[in-house]
Amino acid sequence: MGLLSRKATCNSHGQDSSYFLGWLEYEKNPYHHLHNPNGIIQMGLAENQLSFDLLETWLAKNPEAVGCKRDGQSIFRELALFQDYHGLPAFKKALVDFMAEIRGNKVSFEPNNIVLTAGATSANETLMFCLAEHGDAFLLPTPYYPGFDRDLKWRTGVQIVPIHCTSSNCFRITASAIEEAYQQAQKKNLTVKGILITNPSNPLGTTMTRPELNLLINFITDKQIHLISDEIYSGTVFNSPSFISIMEALKDMNMEKNNRVHIVYSLSKDLGLPGFRVGAIYSNDPTVVSAAVKMSSFGLVSSQTQYLLSVMLSDKKFRNHYIVKNQNRLLKRQRKLVSGLEKSGIRCLESNAGLFCWVDMRHLLSSDTFEAEMELWERIIYDVKLNISPGSSCHCNEPGWFRVCFANMSEDALELAMQRLKSFVGSIKKHNHQESEKLRKESHIGKWIFRLSFQSFNEQDQR
């Protein structure tokens, strides 16, 4: 009889994915502009570090919130003592107002329908526990965030069935792709409990179109299954088309009270606060909300964090200023990455959101295989010293695509990364040219030898 549980000794966490392995290599040799200028530049981490100065300026102007004070009086003891699992009402109200503003106030959210969790990771797993049994399945459009293999499956036992999307239509979801995934699950005797999407998409950096959202709503209505819309990048939309939340699509279809649609949100991306561990579930189903609140006791958001953020997000002037300024900075940085890649002859999927680009490096592969993709990835991380995420880790079914992040580093670091990549691509082109010239010369010599041999044969024949 083993001393440890099967869960403790199993290898299903997903840490062996190239997505996580890239992080490990970076941690062994991290780039620093002074202490380690030849180290690996981290471009595989979707963090937003572009607007810390805005947050820090607000904090400097609001020392009471930082110091756990209200109207000049300390509320330290109040925050330090046990709090209700439901969360601080003031924070939940400020959070739903922030979520509405990000969506242009086209929809509103009810504070009683929100459940606070320790980040989006906890929110997604909690919904799996609420909506599915061990062995049930959720359908996910590809490519998708590699962490979902851990977040959705590891402890819950839920299975993921991919909805295969392709570059032929810019990885848009189609009715045939959804139906094919659904049928595939049934062939495996899996009960499909729902579909999970990320909108804006991680790793594509694109927002879903209204026809896609309508297609999804109609499909889950027809099949009587759930839809989870992970909208943690909703405040990062920096270019047209504008973001359309699943709640807006439901409202336009007169289905805003649908209790089979659930939203996951977090302040990790929009405010750049992953270390604060603030996530949320929004649902119109009171049973789901009740169950999720009970489960949230295993991963609560600290009262001090809730209080600080309730004051910050209640500041409407700051809130509006931050949203606009942050989106402008993301646009500028994204254009810098795209421009740098284009100088190397590398193109990206056209994007309008997120903290990354979906980069097309198919022309740099030695062959159209995932083995060649991994060979290229290894050269980029070990030789070029850039950590980017290969498409295979995102379950893309076309080799040669990579997710490249742009908001978690300084502008100088990004420029250096582009210089390194340009030199690398140049070396590949030079090598390919030399190989081409070698083959051409070998072909020319071969033809010359053949002509001499043929001529000699004719002369002998004439004798």
pLDDT band at 348 (very low <50, low <70, confident <90, very high): very high
Distance, in Å, from the CA atom of 324 to the CA atom of 21, rounded to the nearest integer, reads: 35
Position 18 pLDDT exceeds 90: no
CA distances, 23 to each of 31, 169, 378 (Å):
12, 31, 13
pLDDT band at 2 (very low <50, low <70, confident <90, very high): confident
Residue type, 331: L
Is it the case that residue 463 has pLDDT exceeding 50?
no
Active-site pick, 153, 193, 269, 385: 269
Pairwise CA distance, residues 248 & 170, whole Å: 23
Q: What is the DSSP letter of 111?
A: G
> Minimum mean pLDDT among 264-268, 300-304, 413-417: which range?
300-304
Cβ atoms 196, 161 nearer than 8 A: no
CB atoms within 10 A of CB 250: 21
Closest CA to 194 of 119, 145, 260, 254: 260
Digit-coded pLDDT (tens) for 200-220: 999 999 999 999 999 999 999
Mean pLDDT of 168-185: 97
Quick check: is 145 catalytic?
Answer: yes
Would you state the pLDDT for residue 44?
A: 95
Counting Cα atoms < 13 Å in the Cβ hemisphere of 389 gives: 28
Between 58-72, 101-115, 321-335, 384-398, the lowest mean confidence (pLDDT) is in 58-72
Residue-wise DSSP of 393-420: GGT-SSTTEEEEE-SSS-HHHHHHHHHH
- Is 253's pLDDT higher than 70? yes
Task: Determine which one of 19, 26, 31, 145 is catalytic.
Answer: 145
> What pLDDT digit, counting tens, does each position of 110-127 carry?
999 999 999 999 999 999
Give which of 293, 312, 296 is closest to 304, Cα–Cα.
312
What gap in Å lies between CA 200 and CA 324, rounded to an integer?
A: 17
**Among this protein's residues, is 230 annotated catalytic?**
yes
For the chain, domains (ranges, CATH) are 17-46+361-458 (3.90.1150.10), 66-319 (3.40.640.10)
Which residue type is seen at 41?
I
- Average pLDDT of the chain is 91
Q: Is the pLDDT of residue 360 over 60?
A: yes
Among 14-23, 144-153, 378-387, the range scoring the smallest mean pLDDT is 14-23
Torsion of CA 212, 217, 218, 221, to 10 degrees: 160
Rg of the chain (C-alpha set): 26
Reading the block at residue 461, the tokens are 């024949």
Label each residue of 244-278 as H, E or C.
Answer: CCHHHHHHHCCCCCCCCEEEEEECCCCCCCHHHCC
Angle of helix 89-102 relative to helix 316-343, nearest 10 degrees, comes to 50
Residue 302 DSSP label: P
Active site residue 269: yes
For 125-161, write each residue's pLDDT tens digit.
999 999 999 999 999 999 999 999 999 999 999 999 9
Burial state string for 43-62 with b = 16 or more CB within 10 A and e = fewer than 16 = bbbbbbebbeebbeebeeeb
| Average pLDDT of span 269-285 | 95
Element (H, E) at 79: helix 76-80
The tokens describing 142, both together, are 């590809």
Token code pair at residue 9: 């000794």
| Closest CA relative to residue 161, chosen from 148, 175, 147, 174 | 148
**Amino acid identity, position 60:** A
> Are 163 and 142 within 8 A, CB to CB?
yes
Nearest to 435 by CA among 366, 342, 374, 349: 366
pLDDT at 240: 93
For residue 14, what pLDDT is reported?
64
Q: Which member of 136, 149, 230, 270 is catalytic?
A: 230
pLDDT of residue 8: 79
